[in-house]
Structure 1
């Protein structure tokens, strides 16, 4: 008779809660590999979030802009529309208005926009910065203050600014912080250790180990996710025992396959369908390799990934 072996791990991923009230979500909690319920406790189901911006998204493809045409010039209206129509597990508000290469609005103004969104919805918020490390340090410090009590996730702190963001976000105002590294297990360990040394426990940290669109160095993302999870669970490496969030949409909607117009490459088919397919392909891979949350941009992607997760967790 066949006897199935069970792979047991000594480590466990800690739980991190984002948001408040009945819609608050928990990430992590697993003591086995993603979706391996036959081996042990898979923890909280992976969460799926939808990206919006605090300014009109000029660079988005036309079909996406059309989808949100009535609300995309007002982040509060946009957030409420997304919450009511698509019910994502969380909303990722990207503060593009503060980008030094764009509108370069004062951090106070962008933070007040984020506060207005937080007060208008019940869905948990992930607040994404500009990618400019100096500006993000100032931005997140102000956002943490303005959103006091909303328990948001600040995406993200890097080695250049983690002291300011982690201290303001988690210690002064009791939010959660995403520690970002660049697709390397040693860099992921390093940023977590630095944040821990500030006095921030794992229960307030989520990792963003980096991302890429499928086909664009994607194998490095998947192999790094695998290595991080095996180290955290199999080697009981406490510095890596935190949930992981992957901002899939930040990469997938920038590559040639999603930005190429149908008129320029008719043989490639519908541009919107290409974008959705790229987003889904990327998200399924990172979730299967251990990511606890993904950020997506198209509602059809959210619907498909939600079904994918539900089918696998049974």
Structure 2
């Protein structure tokens, strides 16, 4: 008796969100099948890959990343170099130095650097904060203004600051609002609802539902993304149909497997290879679990994920 496979195509779909403008604009989301299930229905917008740089330039980067930016003298030079690597769809500028518990750089200094980056590249821009909710409310509001007309993504609005970030990014300057929650489907849905109640169009919201480096409680990340995609598609839950964007770089390049020197743990082997492995494994795992875009750091990781996605979608 012949076997007839049942289609896994759903009537519901993930929202399509465009980031950037002009020829370099990219679209994420839009699929009506589970992640990478292109055998059930075509996936028009394959997962996208971004590269992350920060306001610190190369100061805090491992040597295996610094070597790719030799000769860069300014943040604009770094941005241009980052944009030139194989497989880069968009550029993420993280204003890491704004953290009041860290370098505590001024908003004016950081927005000045963001403007330099935006002027240097024509790729879609993602402006990310410093992970301090209060400072990010100020930073991302100013970033939305500085990037007016670029259809940029602002990462990210949290429960503590979504009103300020959402109003500036999503309403005043019509940018894409990133909604950041902490690996919990209910928190993700609640934040989407709250941002929507401000008046932000649901097609202008993306989710950062949280992640971790592979092996670090990663089962919670996978189960959360699985549940979100299942609810969005099989239950047609409009409050969970926003695409997912996952900043992988800042998680994977901070764990000991990626950062421990070969002198400290010679049995672990080459540090660069370890870091790339950790970044690639984490990125591919979140894509397989439902992420529509990942943000990476190492050029080899970016090229690897880009080529993997081409083979799978």
Q: TM-score, normalised by structure 1?
A: 0.96
Q: Given that residues 262 and 268 in structure 1 are in contact (C-alpha distance below 8 angstroms), is that contact kept between their aligned partners in structure 2? A: yes
Corresponding residue for residue 222 of structure 1: 222
Q: Given that residues 176 and 206 in structure 2 are in contact (C-alpha distance below 8 angstroms), is that contact kept between their aligned partners in structure 1? A: yes
Corresponding residue for residue 122 of structure 2: 122
- 2:4 paired with 1:3: yes
Corresponding residue for residue 51 of structure 1: 52
Corresponding residue for residue 200 of structure 2: 200
Mapped to 1, the partners of 2:143 and 2:8 lie a distance apart of 43
Corresponding residue for residue 79 of structure 1: 79
Mapped to 1, the partners of 2:42 and 2:52 lie a distance apart of 29
Corresponding residue for residue 93 of structure 1: 93
Deviation at 1:59, TM superposition (A): 3.1
Instruction: Please give the secondary structure, in 1, of the residue aligned with 2:307.
Output: helix
Corresponding residue for residue 285 of structure 1: 285
Q: Given that residues 111 and 139 in structure 1 are in contact (C-alpha distance below 8 angstroms), is that contact kept between their aligned partners in structure 2? A: yes
Corresponding residue for residue 178 of structure 2: 178
Provide closer, same or farther for how the CA distance between residues 59 and 109 of structure 1 changes in structure 2, counting only shifts above 3 A.
closer
Structure 2 gaps, min length 5: none
Corresponding residue for residue 12 of structure 1: 13
Instruction: Please give the secondary structure, in 2, of the residue aligned with 1:283.
Output: helix
Corresponding residue for residue 235 of structure 2: 235
Q: Given that residues 32 and 40 in structure 1 are in contact (C-alpha distance below 8 angstroms), is that contact kept between their aligned partners in structure 2? A: yes
Instruction: Please give the secondary structure, in 1, of the residue aligned with 2:4.
Output: coil
Instruction: Please give the secondary structure, in 1, of the residue aligned with 2:242.
Output: coil
Mapped to 2, the partners of 1:195 and 1:42 lie a distance apart of 28
Instruction: Please give the secondary structure, in 2, of the residue aligned with 1:100.
Output: coil
Mapped to 1, the partners of 2:58 and 2:75 lie a distance apart of 11
Mapped to 1, the partners of 2:174 and 2:144 lie a distance apart of 8
Corresponding residue for residue 37 of structure 1: 38
Structure 1 gaps, min length 5: none
Mapped to 2, the partners of 1:276 and 1:142 lie a distance apart of 34
Mapped to 2, the partners of 1:81 and 1:59 lie a distance apart of 17
How many residue pairs are counted as aligned between the two chains?
Answer: 312
Mapped to 2, the partners of 1:57 and 1:194 lie a distance apart of 37
Corresponding residue for residue 61 of structure 1: 62
Q: Given that residues 98 and 107 in structure 2 are in contact (C-alpha distance below 8 angstroms), is that contact kept between their aligned partners in structure 1? A: yes
Between stretches 168-177 and 3-12, larger displacement belongs to 3-12
1:278-305 Cα shifts (integer Å, max 9, x gaps): 0000011110111000000100000100
Mapped to 1, the partners of 2:203 and 2:132 lie a distance apart of 26
Deviation at 1:87, TM superposition (A): 5.1
Q: Given that residues 57 and 78 in structure 2 are in contact (C-alpha distance below 8 angstroms), is that contact kept between their aligned partners in structure 1? A: no
Q: TM-score, normalised by structure 2?
A: 0.97
Q: Given that residues 151 and 176 in structure 1 are in contact (C-alpha distance below 8 angstroms), is that contact kept between their aligned partners in structure 2? A: yes
Q: Given that residues 257 and 274 in structure 1 are in contact (C-alpha distance below 8 angstroms), is that contact kept between their aligned partners in structure 2? A: yes
1:60-112 Cα shifts (integer Å, max 9, x gaps): 222212322422x5221111112234351001111123222233222122112
- 2:294 paired with 1:294: yes
Q: Given that residues 170 and 177 in structure 2 are in contact (C-alpha distance below 8 angstroms), is that contact kept between their aligned partners in structure 1? A: yes
Provide closer, same or farther for how the CA distance between residues 102 and 57 of structure 1 changes in structure 2, counting only shifts above 3 A.
farther
Instruction: Please give the secondary structure, in 2, of the residue aligned with 1:119.
Output: helix
Q: Given that residues 87 and 306 in structure 2 are in contact (C-alpha distance below 8 angstroms), is that contact kept between their aligned partners in structure 1? A: no
Between stretches 93-102 and 11-20, larger displacement belongs to 93-102
Provide closer, same or farther for how the CA distance between residues 4 and 87 of structure 1 changes in structure 2, counting only shifts above 3 A.
closer
Provide closer, same or farther for how the CA distance between residues 117 and 59 of structure 1 changes in structure 2, counting only shifts above 3 A.
closer
How well do the aligned residues superpose, as a CA RMSD in angstroms? 1.2
Mapped to 2, the partners of 1:287 and 1:211 lie a distance apart of 12
